[in-house]
Amino acid sequence: MKIRYSPESVDDLDRVVEFVEDKNPFAARRISIDLQEGIDKLKQFPKIGLPVLKASDPELIRDLYISSYTVRYLIADDIIYILRIWHNKENEKNS
């Protein structure tokens, strides 16, 4: 499977890392690496995340929890689309 990022998820990742980077550059780098490694696991285990029950098709739209972050993604044929990324203390993003 291939991973593709929505423009919103790229902005989300930048925002999350920049927020932490101001206070602790090392922690920001660690968060970035952890998120990338967690997302890469979706290539082998696309259904590792939990179904989003309020989605129109919960089996295809799922949430992957990585540390204190949520990655919302869509499974489509041989591509996984990363829709949004947010810290769990933020309001839930709608995709």
Q: What is the DSSP letter of 69?
A: E
Q: How far is CA 31 from CA 38, 75, 78, 80, in A?
A: 10, 24, 27, 21
Query: 2-87 architecture in CATH?
Result: 2-Layer Sandwich (3.30)
What tens digit of pLDDT does each residue of 6-42 get? 999 999 999 999 988 989 999 999 999 999 999 999 9
Q: What is the pLDDT of residue 80?
A: 98
What tens digit of pLDDT does each residue of 48-69 get? 999 999 999 999 999 999 999 9
- Residue 55, helix vs strand vs coil: coil
Does the predicted model carry a pTM greater than 0.95? no
d(CA 25, CA 94): 29
d(CA 58, CA 46): 13
Residue 68 neighbours by CB under 8 Å, 6+ apart: 87, 88, 89
Q: What is the pLDDT of residue 22?
A: 87
Query: Would you say residue 84 has pLDDT above 70?
Result: yes
Domain extents for the chain? Answer: 2-87
Q: What is the pLDDT of residue 60?
A: 96
